[in-house]
């Protein structure tokens, strides 16, 4: 049984996969956009890894780096 035959005889499998992938992809894309990470945004948008890459981005690679402390010049 090939993938095409499996999906045509059991369309609920495609529905379950879509319900699993879409929320992860949406959160990962939102986080990449918020972090101004254009390369990650494009990769997450194009590649479909059934949520694996999206989950890794959200919990590992997408951590926002702390901002550099503001330094004010000291006038003496």
Give the pLDDT score at 64: 73
Q: Under the phi-then-psi rule, with left for phi > 0, alpha for psi from -120 to 50, and beta for the rest, what region is 50?
A: left
Q: Under the phi-then-psi rule, with left for phi > 0, alpha for psi from -120 to 50, and beta for the rest, what region is 36?
A: left
Give the pLDDT score at 63: 80
In this predicted model, what pLDDT tens digit does every residue of 28-55 receive, in sequence order? 999 999 999 999 999 999 998 889 999 9
Give the pLDDT score at 2: 81
Are 48 and 39 in contact by the 8 Å Cβ rule? The answer is no
**Residue 76 pLDDT class (50, 70, 90 cuts):** low
For residue 74 the two structure tokens come to 């000291």
**Residue 14 pLDDT class (50, 70, 90 cuts):** confident
């Amino acid at each position: 049984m090939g993938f095409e035959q499996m999906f045509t005889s059991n369309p609920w499998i495609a529905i379950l996969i879509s319900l699993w992938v879409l929320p992860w992809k949406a959160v990962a894309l939102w986080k990449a956009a918020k972090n101004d990470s254009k390369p990650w945004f494009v990769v997450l948008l194009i590649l479909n890894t059934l949520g694996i890459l999206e989950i890794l981005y959200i919990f590992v690679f997408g951590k926002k780096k702390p901002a550099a402390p503001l330094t004010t010049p000291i006038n003496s």
